[in-house]
Amino acid sequence: DKQYKVTVLPGDGIGPEIVEEGVKVLKQAGKQFGYRFQLDFGLVGGGAIDRVQTPLPQETLRQCRDADAVLLGAVGGPDWDQNPPELRPEKALLDLRKKLGLFANLRPVQCFPGLEESSTLKKDVVNGVDLLVVRELTGGIYFGEKYTEKTGKGEKATDTLVYQEHEVERIMRRGFELARKRRKKVTSVDKANVLESSRLWRKVAQRVARDYPDVELEHMLVDNCAMQMIRRPAEFDVIVTENMFGDILSDESAVLTGSIGMLPSASIGEGTKGLYEPVHGSAPDIAGQGVSNPVATILSVAMMFRHSFQDEEAARTIEHAVINVLAQGARTMDVAVPGDLALSTDQMGDRVVEEL
């Protein structure tokens, strides 16, 4: 049996309920494919602030360091929105990314058969959308120096966007490697007509591209990319971009197909360790009602098999199980259309487990 340690961080809002379904699928797929898991549950986000006055307790960080993979639900909620930066649930995400060296955030966006109608874009526009956003996750303006000063004419706030050549290089290589296994096209997104860091970004993209002659490289300005994503999303394959642009563009791309409740993400580094979480947030408004959509978390578990356990077969099996139950008409409330019988969170998880 293959043995892995998985740290599970349910978090806030709907986090616990969707993670429960993710764990069900993890266990079932593990059984089928010969895995033994040691599951370790930890505190993170708002819940951790309430109990131990910090969004990322030392113990949680240790659990994540020890683990082969981390499954995270979601963090945040109105209770902590007014807190100072250090006591906000999101701070846990930023710290985890940085401290675990998870510099690459992968967000695949696909159009699920049968769900084309739930997009606000026309069917022929989202048909065939199959893109992957590769976002740099541990550099840029998120982690640069930031401070506020008092001046004679009021306050003055500064943030700093810094990129080092090697940071750009490693994320770019990751993008090219991934493109090789897909449709062999990288769109490198920057703002090279304004930013110094983007000019470095573009230069490194061009240099790295030489090592991947089989992959096409195109450069696109971030403003144009925000447009093209709505105009012709099916033409993108792999989008590689810096932290802040990636934050904006990946959220934009996530709603293209209308199914943000379905979209998984992986945050990975040099090794095979990764953090897996749904793209959507903690949805405090529907928490505890058992109506949330666990598909994004389940697909994040599939990504865990792919990247952390290097098991493409198990990953695909989970993904096909999800596609099949969706094709059979299984829907949670968020994607149900009039006439559908909406399933609860755990019914949806059970359907995927049965299908496996």
Ligand X SMILES: CC(C)[C@H](C(=O)O)[C@@H](O)C(=O)O
Q: Which one of 89-97, 169-177, 304-312, 347-355 is the stretch in contact with ligand X (CB under 6 A)?
A: 89-97
260: partner contacted, choices ligand X, its own copies, none (Cβ within 5-8 A by kind): its own copies
Active site residue 350: no
Active site residue 123: no
210 binds its own copies (CB under 8 A): no
223 binds ligand X (CB under 6 A): yes
Q: Which is nearer to ligand X, 70 or 348 (CB)?
A: 70
For residues 22 and 19, give the distance between their C-alpha atoms in angstroms, rounded to a whole number. Answer: 5
Active-site residue (options: 4, 163, 190, 191): 191
Q: Which is nearer to ligand X, 28 or 105 (CB)?
A: 105
For residues 258 and 110, give the distance between their C-alpha atoms in angstroms, rounded to a whole number. Answer: 10
Q: Which is nearer to its own copies, 197 or 308 (CB)?
A: 197
Instruction: Single out the residue of 3, 120, 148, 193 in contact with ligand X (rule: CB under 6 A).
Output: 193
For residues 285 and 276, give the distance between their C-alpha atoms in angstroms, rounded to a whole number. Answer: 23
For residues 79 and 82, give the distance between their C-alpha atoms in angstroms, rounded to a whole number. Answer: 8
Map the footprint of its own copies across residues 141-170, applying CB under 8 A: 141-142, 144, 146-148, 151, 153-166, 169
Q: Are 33 and 313 in contact (CB under 8 A)?
A: yes
Is 36 marked within a binding site? Answer: no
At residue 352's C-alpha, the angle toward residues 350 and 355, to 5°, is: 110
Q: Which is nearer to its own copies, 247 or 319 (CB)?
A: 247
252 binds its own copies (CB under 8 A): yes
Q: Which one of 120-128, 289-297, 308-316, 348-356 is the stretch in contact with its own copies (CB under 8 A)?
A: 120-128
Q: Per-residue x/- mask for ligand X, residues 150 to 189, rule CB under 6 A?
A: ----------------------------------------
254: partner contacted, choices ligand X, its own copies, none (Cβ within 5-8 A by kind): its own copies
Q: Are 233 and 265 in contact (CB under 8 A)?
A: no
From residue 15, give the alpha-carbon distance in Å to each of 95, 136, 222, 264, 347.
Answer: 19, 24, 32, 14, 16
For residues 179 and 257, give the distance between their C-alpha atoms in angstroms, rounded to a whole number. Answer: 21
For residues 294 and 265, give the distance between their C-alpha atoms in angstroms, rounded to a whole number. Answer: 13
Q: Helix, strand, or coil here: 310? A: coil
Q: Are 137 and 174 in contact (CB under 8 A)?
A: no
Active site residue 223: yes
Which residues sit opposite 39 in a β-bridge? 6
For residues 164 and 138, give the distance between their C-alpha atoms in angstroms, rounded to a whole number. Answer: 11
In whole angstroms, how close is the CB of 210 to ligand X at the nearest point? Answer: 28
In whole angstroms, how close is the CB of 236 to ligand X at the nearest point? Answer: 19
For residues 126 and 134, give the distance between their C-alpha atoms in angstroms, rounded to a whole number. Answer: 20
User: What secondary structure letter does DSSP report for 38?
Assistant: E
Active-site residue (options: 4, 142, 163, 212): 142
Active site residue 35: no
Active-site residue (options: 40, 79, 130, 251): 251
Which pair of structure tokens corresponds to residue 68? Answer: 């082969």
Active site residue 98: no
> Which positions lie near its own copies, rule CB under 8 A?
85, 88, 90, 94, 120-122, 125, 141-142, 144, 146-148, 151, 153-166, 169, 191, 193-197, 199-200, 222-224, 226-227, 229-232, 244-245, 247-252, 254-256, 260
Catalytic residues, by residue number, are 142, 191, 223, 247, 251
